[in-house]
Amino acid sequence: MGWIGETVDSIKSIQIRQLFTQAISLGMIVTSALIIWKALMCVTGSESPVVVVLSGSMEPGFKRGDILFLHMSKDPIRAGEIVVFNVDGRDIPIVHRVIKVHERENTGDVDVLTKGDNNYGDDRLLYAEGQLWLHRHHIMGRAVGFLPYVGWVTIIMTEKPIIKYILIGALGLLVITSKD
């Protein structure tokens, strides 16, 4: 009969109590992941404590698929730091290096100009129309560490959604057919 036949038979034999137990287990896994994410947000001070590098604009330092760990502190942002920022009107954050910092004497506010290490010019073309500098509220965090290549899983699932659906389906079958 094979693996598929055994899986179908296993699904048919599931009792309500077993299904309820497995649903609770799945809910606990999802809830635990959310709690860990929120805890990381509190500890790092960043709305997104982990990001994936999606382009080659920071090569050779960071390659596409690297995972960056972010931290946001009250310390002033300095030229040379690698920051992750959001631009008004764009959904995807950008990872680039700070090349210029302009501090206003009267308010102490800081304006920042960024550039990708592998890009020819600064990022003013990426900013919102008419925007010449990034402000503190645009910056999500500073890169404090990275894991090379681990983010490729996310990139592949985003670029090839069928793989994501197959993986979710396989995990769902695994949860439903597992025996205690």
The residues carrying an active-site annotation are 57, 96, 123
Q: Assess contact for 96 and 82: CB atoms under 8 A.
A: yes
**Cα dist. 60→2, 29, 63, 125 in Å?**
48, 37, 6, 22
Task: Work out the burial of residue 94: count CB atoms within 10 Å of its CB; fewer than 13 is exposed, 13-18 middle, 19 or more buried.
Answer: buried
The secondary structure of 10-58 as a DSSP string is: HHHT--HHHHHHHHHHHHHHHHHHHHHHHHHHHHH--SSSEEE--SSTT
Q: How far is CA 178 from the centre of its chain?
A: 30
Return the closest-CA partner of residue 49 out of 57, 34, 39. 39
Distance, in Å, from the CA atom of 141 to the CA atom of 70, rounded to the nearest integer, reads: 5
